[in-house]
Amino acid sequence: GAVVSQHPSRVICKSGTSVKIECRSLDFQATTMFWYRQFPKQSLMLMATSNEGSKATYEQGVEKDKFLINHASLTLSTLTVTSAHPEDSSFYICSADGTGVTYNEQFFGPGTRLTVL
Amino acid sequence: AQSVTQPDIHITVSEGASLELRCNYSYGATPYLFWYVQSPGQGLQLLLKYFSGDTLVQGIKGFEAEFKRSQSSFNLRKPSVHWSDAAEYFCAVQPGGYQKVTFGTGTKLQVIP
């Protein structure tokens, strides 16, 4: 149980286009989901915290107008990278708070590799 | 704000040898503590976690970690490393439930035959 999926696993797009990444909790409901970015050979940096039915809370330095987060249901959160540029190329990982499944544990998705040409 | 330090960026061990990965945290109280493993191009897998109680925590794949309050440390250990353990290991801290997790910079483990 407690599986988190991400789609797509890999995406290549042209500069200036928008890309949407989905994060789903498959067998549990997650009121809180988190989005992280990981640059090559670096750690995960939290971008934003997403709560179902409310606006996401962004970390300092993360452009909310560029990284649009929607958490419309208890099993789905989406991250849209708008007008993507090469510097947005990264590995994006989501996690879902599974406190209803296992106390205080976040379950991570497999990640999405974004490459902007 | 909490912070996590993993002083070893890269560690190489021989297969069958013991392993210890270091993690130190900075936080006013005792946070929740985690160790995750990440294989190349993959997401994170939780190895073990500490919330309270017994300071020696057992995890999956034969890993264990010991919480030492006096040293603000949460080191990960394994008595005998297997080639499949080669991966990146992240220590993480969280002040409490539903709060953000802060990750260390990671330690890359290489296992040689």
Distance CA A73, CA A80 (A): 16
Percent of chain B with pLDDT over 70: 98
* Comparison of pLDDT for A42 and A4, the residue scoring more: A4
CB A67 within 8 A of CB A77: no
What pLDDT, in 10s, does the model give residues A69-113? 999 888 999 999 999 999 999 999 999 986 666 666 788 899 999
pLDDT band (50, 70, 90) for residue B98: low
Q: Is the CB of A43 less than 8 angstroms away from the CB of B90?
A: yes
Which chain B residues are closer than 8 Å to A93 by Cβ?
43-44
For chain A, the first-to-last Cα distance in angstroms comes to 37
In chain A, % of residues over pLDDT 90: 65
Kindly list the residues of chain B whose beta carbon comes within 8 Å of any beta carbon in chain A: 32, 36, 41-46, 49, 51, 90, 94, 96-98, 100-106
